[in-house]
Each structure stands twice: as C-alpha cells, then as structure tokens.
Amino acid sequence: MGYQKAVYDQALAQLSQNRQKMLEQTSFRRDQLYEKYPRLREIEAELAQNATGITKAVLSGENIHEALERLKSASLTLQEERKSILRFAGLKENYLEPCYSCPDCKDTGYRDGRLCGCVRKLARSIAFTKLSEASPLALSDFESFDCGYYSDGKDTSGVSPRARMKNNLNICREYAATFTLASPSLIFKGNTGLGKTHLSLAIAGRVIEKGYGVIYGSAQNLLHKIELEHFGRGEGGEDTLQALIDCDLLVLDDLGAEFSSAFSAAAVYNILNSRINLQRPTIISTNLNLDEIEKRYSDRVGSRILGNYRALLFVGRDIRQERLKRK
C-alpha cells in the first residue's frame, strides 16, 4: 500500500511496544505463578531440556527415532501436568504464553520475511487518524453533504445548482465505492464554499477504509513542506515529494491558494506528471479555471489536467454562508 514511510515506521513501532509490553506482562505472571506453584518452573525447565535433547542424542550416536519418541512422550506428560496445575489454579491453558495482538507474526510485523497484514491494517488506522487530525474528516462524509443548501432554480444551462450538486455527490459516492489504483483522476472546480473539500475528504475517508494509502493536504502546506525539504530546512528523514508521487491516492486541496513561484509551479508539474506516468489517481480541488491554471503553472500542467482528469463543476452560493442564515 502507498502509505508514507513514517506511517509504516509508526505502525511497526506500535507493534514493537505491544510485543515488549506483552513479554513483560507474561514474565511477571510467570514469576507470580512460579512462587505459588514451584513445580511449574521445574516443568518449564524440563521441557526446555527436552527441546535440546535431540541434539544430544544425535551427538551421542543414539537412535534418533527412539530418542524422538522418548522425548515426545516425556514432553506430552509434562504438558499434561502443567495443564492440570493451571486448571487447579483456575487459569486457562495458555496463561503462561504471551497473548500477542497478532498471532500470525507475534507482533514482530513480519511473517515469512514479508510485512504482515497486521502492519497494513494498523497503518490504515494511523493514516486515518492523521488525516482526521489535519482535516474535518469526521464531519466530511457523504451522509452529511446536504444538497438542500443549493438553489433549485435553473441556471442558463437549464440545470439547477441543486441538481448539478446531487449529480456530483453521486459521482463521488460511486468513485469511492469502486476505487482502485486504476480509477481516474478528478478535478473539482468552483468558487470557495461549495463543498469541494467536503467531498474530496469524503472520498479520502472511504478509500482509506478500503485499505489504500491516501495523502490529503492543502497545496499551500504540501508545497511549502517540499520547498523546505528541498533547501534542507525540513524535518530530517522526510521526503514529502516522493510520498505524494507514490501514494495510492493524492488529494491536493485548494490548488492555486499557495504562494506563486517558479519552484511551486515546477513541483506541481512534477507531482501531476509523475502520477500520470505511474497511473495513480489524484483528486484536485481548485478555484481556478483551466486558463488560470495554465497561466499560473504552465501550459504543460493545463494540458496534463485537460487530458487526464475528469472535471466536476461545483456551483451555487457559499454553503457556509447559507448555513449561517439558517441558524
């Protein structure tokens, strides 16, 4: 999945902490139980000796098959005695074993030399939390998008803002529900306060729930981070530019609101062009029309968007002002 390295690092760190905590708890439980039932400590020691017994049998020239059968029988007898003591104490049979959050990898994060599925699941949760902290994600779902704030009066095209926004809502719902790495890129165009950020966040939330790596951010903040890192003033170890290129879905909010410079224009082209070449979907929201995009960034940026993005037009009056009127 296309999460940032920092997300995976945080997931692995959490698993490591869980593992260490569980090992410490298990050790504490064992020590307490051994004090009350010393025979349990002896059983554990005898089982450990049996585990190394086969090596000794081989070195001594003993019949391996007979040695294995003898050790297996002895181990089973010891295990049954251990179970009996634990039952007498009113405890479960696995009381002396660590209870890892992931039994597959035992909270190491790796299984058969590969990243365990629990890491991806945890990374998804971390990514969702990070996105929620950086945006009103919890308030920006499809269910809370109210088309009633848009006028039902028809415009010059014969279509009302409400009808157009209902159509946009349905398109975005379908996009999120069927999202894959082969999904098309979208550009939301329209004035401030018409729901572009709301619907882009609603898509981001659903796509994260499906297990994909999503990066959401305002163009201003993301481009500022890229510039700081480029000139050696960013946080150590971060590579925001590469993360934006590599993630499964990039949501670039409010393109055009950032400080205009040759560096930001080049960065925007690099991000969009690289993601198109990698066939990775992007969602852009902007107040700019195509002519303004070309003037601000370059004809090449406008050409990439025109040829590779599906445009959704957001119309109507500022719904934030409409909400205030109804309070």
What Rg, from alpha-carbon coordinates, does the chain have?
29
Question: In which band, very low, low, confident or very high, does the pLDDT at 198 lie, cut at 50, 70 and 90?
Answer: very high
The helix/strand/coil state of 64 is helix
pLDDT of residue 128 exceeding 70, the answer is no
Partners of residue 111 on adjacent β-strands: 114
pLDDT over 90 percentage in the chain: 50
Q: What is the mean pLDDT of residues 159-175?
A: 94
pLDDT given for residue 269 in this prediction: 95
DSSP 8-class letter at 288: -
Q: Which of 26-30, 187-191, 208-212, 262-266 has the lowest mean pLDDT?
A: 208-212
**How distant, in Å, are the alpha carbons of 150, 151, 195, 314 from that of 317?**
7, 8, 10, 10
Q: How does strand 214-218 pair with strand 282-286?
A: unpaired
Instruction: Specify the higher pLDDT residue, 65 or 298.
Output: 298
pLDDT given for residue 306 in this prediction: 93
Residue with tokens 């040829």: 307
The helix/strand/coil state of 156 is coil
What stretch of H or E contains 282? strand 282-286
pLDDT given for residue 317 in this prediction: 83
pLDDT averaged over the chain? 86
Question: Rounded to an integer, what distance in angstroms lies between the CA atom of residue 199 and that of residue 313?
Answer: 12
pLDDT given for residue 323 in this prediction: 66
Question: In which band, very low, low, confident or very high, does the pLDDT at 141 lie, cut at 50, 70 and 90?
Answer: confident
Residues near 308 by beta carbon (within 8 Å), at least 6 away in sequence: 184, 185, 276
- Count Cα neighbours of 46 within 13 Å in the Cβ-side half-sphere: 17
pLDDT given for residue 188 in this prediction: 97
Instruction: Specify the higher pLDDT residue, 156 or 245.
Output: 245
Which residue, 127, 124, 105, is CA-closest to 116? Answer: 105
Q: What is the token pair recorded at 21?
A: 């905590």
Q: What is the mean pLDDT of residues 15-42?
A: 92
Question: Rounded to an integer, what distance in angstroms lies between the CA atom of residue 176 and that of residue 66?
Answer: 62
Which residue, 288, 143, 158, is CA-closest to 219? Answer: 288
* CB-based contact 288:165 (threshold 8 Å): no
Q: What is the mean pLDDT of residues 268-280?
A: 95
Q: What is the mean pLDDT of residues 303-313?
A: 95
32-48 pLDDT, tens digit per residue, is: 999 999 999 999 888 88
Altogether, the residues listed in the chain come to a count of 327
Question: Rounded to an integer, what distance in angstroms lies between the CA atom of residue 222 and that of residue 170?
Answer: 29
CB neighbours (10 Å) of residue 98? 18
Which span out of 57-71, 134-148, 285-299 was modeled with the highest average pLDDT?
Answer: 285-299
CB neighbours (10 Å) of residue 80? 10
Residues near 97 by beta carbon (within 8 Å), at least 6 away in sequence: 26
Q: What is the token pair recorded at 212?
A: 């994909």
Residue ranges and CATH numbers for the domains of the chain are 15-101 (no CATH), 135-326 (3.40.50.300)
**How distant, in Å, are the alpha carbons of 115, 123, 272, 275, 311 from that of 181?**
20, 18, 15, 11, 19
pLDDT of residue 60 exceeding 70, the answer is no
Question: Rounded to an integer, what distance in angstroms lies between the CA atom of residue 249 and that of residue 214?
Answer: 5
What stretch of H or E contains 71? helix 64-88
Give the burial class of 24: count Cβ atoms within 10 A of its Cβ; 0-12 exposed, 13-18 middle, 19 or more buried: exposed
Question: Rounded to an integer, what distance in angstroms lies between the CA atom of residue 268 and that of residue 186?
Answer: 15
**How distant, in Å, are the alpha carbons of 52, 126, 207 from that of 175?**
58, 23, 9
pLDDT of residue 236 exceeding 80, the answer is no
